[in-house]
A and B are shown apart, each in its own frame.
Chain A
């Protein structure tokens, strides 16, 4: 089995560690080898960490052979490694990168690709030839699960980023434990594979990221207009968090789309999501359902969001939020 592993400044991404955890559980079903495929300098390969996640072989493509993000060339590299390793499946994280590379690999190999799987196991032999998988995958950004049969050689799938937690085989690093063998791989690429290459520059969005914020203060239609967000911003700043908004707010042009929480915006995973004046359309819940705690401020006690939340205050956010801000400031001053 091959698993595409994404690297960032901090090393292996959390989504890739989750994909490795998922791939490992599938690898134990048959073909025991779990090979990680990485693009970057060989001396930056965290072989010890990958070993703790059950990786037995590492194939690394160095910048001299292929520099930067080039999704079609990455897919062509994976295709080449299929014949080197005889892998029966290719797994990647269900990120923009993972989905894009596996979509290219699906097109190149003419095989199906199952996006955003939350479970996979060998299918009963009546379902198809050897290597056929029974998978469960997310539709509607996780609001619906599809149980399906994936019949493909190789089986191609991405792992939903919230499918499994990242778990090493053995949580405590062992000195001198078996590290995977690192192979420097030279991919065989055609000029057309290199047409699609990313030039990377610093992002435009400064400040704290909505996706990783510990507290998100959400504002919806109930905020009333573009001028109503100042108290939410002040509250977010007091709580060390950021403001997120519902789709109606961005489609009205009240706030930029970068602040949207939901199926077509950002998926958030804060400790606290404080949803103010948001009715709770199901597409919004797809973006905030992974919050540890959801607290609602809403005038309507029958709003759908109350059936998906932990706590609620029934009231007008235009009164409750300023009062909350005052109370928090007083409490802070008293400390």
Chain B
């Protein structure tokens, strides 16, 4: 089973999110970076599948040279091979991102090592475009299921399940296929020390896909107005309980 997992390097924003003065980016001078959460689970899922069925996990990212850090995080979790698609310092739209992934899958297939399964996150934490996986599937002519929380993979097919509006939807189709997953599909492991050492030494393949303009053009980013400001403090410790009970009564939740 040859699996590719597409991950994205996203800022680790903590208590607040700040936009750069030119309004074009999130200010990341004070933040670290991580693999977007759904995709960290996609890496774990891929590693678990190859532990069961054999094969290898390639981890791909489209990003700046520093995104090699996130590829090494994935290698430390158990991925076998890493590919950096350099973004040339631009923000890529969903269609261009999908095309770069399709081209990498084509390169791999031409080497006779084509992927059987592509895993992505349901949506990236930062841009939230909700479409890269579907566009990749169309580019490859493969079936696709999105938002998956339970995945069973056999040698030739997948059974993918998700909850939607309180009901369970199950999709079944053959390989090759594209699946986008959500956090909760598994609990990602902590990287082992040998895993980290292996990841540090691993070679990373580099490619420079060509950026293309897209029909959705960002003008500026802004932080929406906050509906709430500072909380009114009712009191300290158990002394505040009578005030809290009165408040809950006023809010009408004690019926």
A interface vs B, CB < 8 Å? 8, 13, 69, 71-72, 94, 96-97, 99-100, 102-104, 106-108, 110-116, 138-152, 158, 192, 195-205, 209, 214-215, 239-241, 247, 250-251, 253, 256-258, 260, 263-265, 271-272, 279-283, 289, 293-296, 301, 304, 306-316, 319-320, 323-324, 327-328, 331
Contact = CB atoms under 8 A, between A and B. Distances in A.
A331 B245 contact: yes
Main secondary structure of the interface of A (DSSP, over half): mixed
Interface stretch (B60-68, B107-115, B141-149): B141-149
Nearest to A331: B245
A17 to B, nearest CB: 15
A149 B209 CA distance: 24
Given A272-B251, A301-B233, A282 B13 contact: yes
A264 B221 CA distance: 21
A199 B169 contact: yes
B143 A195 contact: yes
B205 interface: no
23 contacts: A100-B130, A100-B147, A103-B134, A106-B131, A112-B94, A112-B216, A113-B129, A113-B216, A139-B128, A141-B128, A143-B224, A145-B222, A195-B173, A199-B172, A200-B169, A239-B254, A289-B227, A295-B247, A313-B244, A314-B237, A315-B240, A323-B238, A328-B248
Interface size class of B (residues with CB under 8 A): 35 or more
B165 to A, nearest CB: 6
A319 B231 contact: no
B65 to A, nearest CB: 24
Contacts of B145: 196
Contacts of A104: 134, 138
Nearest to A127: B217
Contact of A312 (B98, B188, B234, B252): B234
B241 interface: yes
Contacts of A143: 13, 17, 223-224
B168 interface: yes
Given A140-B128, A313-B240, A201 B232 contact: no
B166 interface: yes
Interface string B206-247: 000000001111111111101111111111111011101101
Main secondary structure of the interface of B (DSSP, over half): mixed
A322 B11 CA distance: 38
Contact of A327 (B184, B220, B241): B241
B195 to A, nearest CB: 18
Contacts of B125: 140-141, 263-264, 283
B245 to A, nearest CB: 5
Contacts of B219: 146-149
Interface of B: 13-17, 19, 26, 37-38, 93-95, 98, 123, 125-131, 133-135, 137-139, 141, 143-147, 162-173, 182-184, 187-188, 214-224, 226-238, 240-242, 244-245, 247-248, 251-255
Contact of B230 (A102, A265, A307): A307
Nearest to B187: A253
Given A115-B128, A313-B236, A142 B251 contact: no
Given A143-B223, A146-B221, A324-B244, A114 B234 contact: no
B124 to A, nearest CB: 9
A309 B228 CA distance: 6
A327 B245 contact: yes
Central interface residue in A247, A264, A310, A320, by most chain B CB within 10 Å: A264
Nearest to A157: B216
Contact of A307 (B163, B167, B229): B229
Contacts of A113: 94, 129, 131, 216
B217 A151 contact: yes
A138 B165 CA distance: 22
Given A107-B134, A260-B183, A314-B233, 20 more contacts: A69-B169, A96-B146, A100-B147, A106-B135, A115-B128, A139-B128, A140-B13, A140-B128, A148-B216, A239-B248, A239-B253, A264-B182, A280-B15, A294-B228, A307-B228, A314-B240, A315-B236, A315-B240, A320-B241, A323-B241
Contact of B168 (A97, A200, A256, A307): A200
A315 B127 contact: no
